[in-house]
Structure formats: structure tokens, C-alpha cells
Amino acid sequence: MSHAILISNNIILNDLYSLNLKAYVDTNVTIKEDLSEALKLIVMKPHIDLVVCTSTIDGEDVIEKLISTLKASEIDVPIIAIGEEVKVSDWEVYFLPPFLNVNKFVKTAGEALGVTARMMVDKIVPEYYPIPIRLFRSFSKTPCEIFHLISKGSREKEYSKIIDKDGEIREKVTKYIELGVECFFVYSHDRLKVVNEISNSIVNRLDDKSLSSEEKAIAVETGFEVVASQMSGNDEMTESMVQISKKCVENIKDMIKEVPKIRHILKMLMDNKSSYVYQHNILGTYVARHILENIEWGSEEHAEKLGFTFFFHDIFLMPIFTKYPDIKNEEDLFFSEKLSEKEKDLVLNHARLAGEIVKTFPRCPMGADAIITQHHGTSAGVGIAVDFKDDISPLAKVMIISEEFVNEMFKQKESGNKKYNLDDILDILYDKFTRHTYKRILKTLETIQV
């Protein structure tokens, strides 16, 4: 059994990373939410094999201080840093992007600890396996039998079954937390199933109202990543994909309503180092909501429908954006020479494919599939329109304009503007969308708060 110190004040990631380290690479984790506490612990020279940290905590740089403390204490261990990459010399540091990717994280931890994939699978595990009780808060029914440890002195252990498979779990969790119990136990052969379910349902913790907007935004992004990663290879939405995406869409709506200006949301997403697709989804949803609140025929139902379509519209592009991190927007993706033929094909057809898969969403909002299919202005969902016509649905037009508005904001940001210039954005859009129906939509954006 190896030991790791995890330095991060992100409660969602802490639970998830420590759980996965324990499950896949047999590593016990000590969590320190505060950097100085963590450094104090290191100075005491505990037995550690790995340090996992976020690059910064509350704006304070972690890595430099961490390395100098490790050097001074003569502890030579690898570091996995989550967040922005910084230059380090003479230390083994693995940098990972800030959004959650459990597979990549586990693989990297395995590499850092010298554990091979084979060993991860073959790992001999105890008959019962502990899982932090609070992670069960997102479950209403258990995926497997759950046990409670009755301690009988330090040598002897006895486990008693407290919940059957598919049993109700909520009340038991509350009760045992009140009793001060920290872990439930499952059979070892069930552990990966439980870990996966927990990873998948992590967004349920968004119900926890004490989460800050930043934490909420990270959790929604986690959910988005989980759904996106399950897209390829599936012809239809699985139950877990449906559940996660519903929660995400609801939370995006709440997040948007909490901020008065679009730039506040953009700043938060930038600070979180969110991916392009995710930023673009959230901001697009914001702009679309503004349009629908201000156009005479708009309604709350329409705004919610577009919240749904934004979540899915570019989901098939996620793997390509991940593979080519220097491509920063959809337009460049369409014209990039780097992509393979297969990838180009996926880009050309991403609107059609997303439209098709959301049809399998139970009670899919009416017409959402068509809006997604038409989100680049073509009625069949292949390629992008050069001339924006009237042969698509009015809500697809709202979506297209919202996307373009966000793209122009990104362009202004990239060109170094400190403030957004609404007039400049609108001038460009009025030039691009010349038809009357589009202009009516654009008119509503004259009052948006940037």
C-alpha cells in the first residue's frame, strides 16, 4: 500500500481523486486543504510515495513552495499537479488539465508510482472495501450490498450488512454520518462498479447548496465531460448520461441567473480554465436566454429548450478539441489541415450526429433535435452555412446568433481588449446576418449587459 498527500481545497475533486487512488492504485491519501498545513506535514517526514496538488490554492502558487520543502526535507517523490502548467527544473512533475478526467488521472498516478495497468487489474484487494460515506449521498438506491464495520478490537473485524443491492440508502447515510461513521464497506469485487457510479453521479452533489459558483461550475463541467466521454460508442443515451445531463442543464440555468453580466461568468470560466466547448456552451446559453426574455414571442420554455440544445450541440467535438488543444474555436476546426479524414468527417457531421442522439433522450424537448441539427445554419446538419437563410427554425436562428455573439466576445478577448465593445460585436453580426428575421433577433442584443 502506498501513501499520497493530496493538497487541494476543492472538495469535489478531493473526494474523487482520493477514492480513485485507493481503488485503482492501492494508495492511501491524506488530504490537506491548506498549503501551510501540508508543508508542515511534509517536514515531519512521513512515508509518502506521491504528492498530488492543485497548481494554486486561493491564488497562491503551490508548486514552488512544495518542491523547496520536499528538497529541504530530502523527500524525493513525484508530484502530480492539476491546473496551469508552470516551469519547474530538476523535479518530476506531471501536469494535468484542471477539469476532471478520472482515467487520465489514474493512469498518471499509476505511472508516477510505477504501477502498471496489469497490476492495477490484478491488485489483490481485501474482501471488503471501504468507501467514504459522504460519497453515497448522491445515491438514492445502492448499486450493490453495503456493509458496516463493527470493530472487535484491533485484530478482529466483523462486517454487518446494512443495505441490500437496490436498497434505499439516503436515510441510512444520514443516520450513520450522525453517528460519526466515516466509511461504508462493499465487497471488493463490487468496488469498481461503485467507484464508476460515484464518478458518474458526482454531479448530484450539486444539490449541495453550500457549493460556491466556482465549485458548481467545475462540477457541471465534470458532468459534461462524463457525458461527452460516453458519447462515442453509444447509439443512444444511457440512463446515467440522461441523469447527469439533466442535472447539468438545471444547474447551468441557476448559474446564469446568479450573475448580472456575461463577463462575470466568462471570468469565472477562464479562472477555472474551462474548455472551449464548455465556455461556449454556458455563454451561448446565457445570450440565448437574454434574447428569449426580450423578443416578443420568447418564453421560459424556449429558453429552457435552448439550454438543453446548447449542452449537446457540440458534444461530438469534445474529443477533437482535446486532441488538438491549440485549436481554440469551431471555425478553425472546420478549416484545420491537421485533422484526419475521419475527424474532418466528424466535424462536418457533428450537428447531425448530435441531433440524432438527443432523439433517444427520454422526453426530449420538442424540436430540440432539429435545432441542434440546424445549429450551423444548414437544414441537414452537415457543414456550415455561408448564407443564413429562412429555412431553419426560429430557435435555431437564436442559437446561431448566440453562438456568433460569444465567438465575437472571445475574439475581442483574444485581441487584448480589457472591456467588451457591444457596438463592435453588433456591427459585425448585422453585417453577417442580413435577413429580416435574424435582424429582429439581433435587435434584442442591444440591451445585453456585457
Provide, rounded to whole angstroms, the least separation between the CB of residue 197 and Fe ion: 30
- Backbone conformation region of residue 348, classed left if phi is above 0, alpha if psi is from -120 to 50, else beta: alpha
Nearest-approach distance from CB 388 to Fe ion, in angstroms:
14
Q: Closer CB to Fe ion, residue 225 or residue 314?
A: 314
Q: Which is nearer to Fe ion, 197 or 403 (CB)?
A: 403
Residue 276 beta carbon to Fe ion: minimum distance, rounded to whole angstroms: 9
Between 38 and 392, CB nearer to Fe ion: 392
DSSP secondary structure string for all residues of 150-189: EEETTTEEEEEEEE-TT-B-HHHHHHHHHTT--EEEEEGG
Smallest distance, Å, CB 280 to Fe ion?
6
Residue 221 or 314 with smaller CB distance to Fe ion: 314
Closest to Fe ion by CB, 148 or 280: 280
Cα dihedral 160/166/171/172 (nearest 10): 10
CB of 180 to Fe ion, least distance (A): 48
Q: How far is the CB of 101 from Fe ion (least distance, A)?
A: 21
Give the nearest distance from C-beta 370 to Fe ion in angstroms. 15
Min dist CB 407 to Fe ion, Å, is 9
45: exposed, middle or buried (Cβ count in 10 Å: 0-12, 13-18, 19+): exposed
E strands, 169-293, where? Answer: 183-187
- Answer whether 176's CB lies under 8 Å from 148's CB: yes
User: 197 vs 314, which CB is nearer to Fe ion?
Assistant: 314
Q: Which of 136, 125, 133 is nearest to 188 (CA)?
A: 125
For Fe ion, which is the closer residue by CB, 139 or 433? 433
Q: In which residue are the cell numbers 466535424 written?
A: 347
Which of 17/276 has CB closer to Fe ion? 276
Nearest to 39 by CA among 24, 53, 19, 25: 53
What is the distance between the alpha carbons of residues 355 and 369, in angstroms, rounded to a whole number? 4
Footprint of Fe ion on this chain (CB under 5 A)?
A: 314
Query: Cell numbers 462575470 correspond to what residue?
Result: 264
Pick between residue 314 and residue 408 the one whose CB is nearest to Fe ion: 314
In sequence order, the β-bridge partners of residue 340 are none
Query: Please, is 403 exposed, middle or buried when counting C-beta atoms within 10 Å of its C-beta (0-12, 13-18, 19+)?
Result: buried
Smallest distance from Fe ion to CB 399, Å: 8
DSSP 313-360: HTGGGHHHHHH-TT--SHHHHHH-SSS-HHHHHHHHHHHHHHHHHHTT
Q: Is 1 exposed, middle or buried (0-12, 13-18, 19+ CB in 10 A)?
A: exposed
Q: Nearest to Fe ion by Cβ — which residue?
A: 314
Sign of the Cα pseudo-torsion (52, 54, 60, 63, in order): positive
